[in-house]
Structure 1
């Protein structure tokens, strides 16, 4: 599948807007970023949470850099053949990375069917 960076970012924003309010309203000091691919150049990683999970924080205050949820464009496009598949995969990636923000690890995400 092929899609330029602007169209992909717009799709990520659309999918983010479709998430339940109670899932995104609790995201404090988090930015969503779209990048072409991970630093190692692989196409295996669809997204990444870069920050300190809520369950690991002792305090969080003013002056802290925001946590980041990164969605990688090229790996998504490499794994999806249709726009519907792409939407579903972006949705799953967003939920997965937001779960990491809340301290849910990959093992629990597998149990829930989100990894």
Structure 2
């Protein structure tokens, strides 16, 4: 599947807007970023939570750099055949990475069906 960066980013924002309010309302000091590929150039990683989970924070205040949730465009396009499948995969990726923000690890996400 092919899609330019601007269209892909629009879909990411669309899917983010569709998530339940109680899931996104607690996201404090988090930015969402779309990048083409992970730093290693692989197509294996769909998203990344780059930050310190709420469950690991002892003190958090002003002046902290924001946590980042990165969504990788090219890996998503490599595994999806059409826009419907892409939207589903973006939804899963966003939920997965947001869950890391809340402190859920991959094993817990797997048990819940999100990994």
**Alignment TM-score, normalising by the size of structure 1:** 1.00
Which structure 2 segments of 5+ residues have no match? none
Q: Distance in 2 between matches of 1:104 and 1:114?
A: 11
- State the partner residue of 1:46: 46
**Alignment TM-score, normalising by the size of structure 2:** 1.00
RMSD of Structure 2 on Structure 1 (CA) = 0.2
Structure 1 ranges of 4+ moved more than 6 A: none
- State the partner residue of 1:7: 7
Deviation at 1:45, TM superposition (A): 0.1
- State the partner residue of 1:31: 31
Which structure 1 segments of 5+ residues have no match? none
Q: Distance in 1 between matches of 2:75 and 2:9?
A: 14
- State the partner residue of 1:67: 67
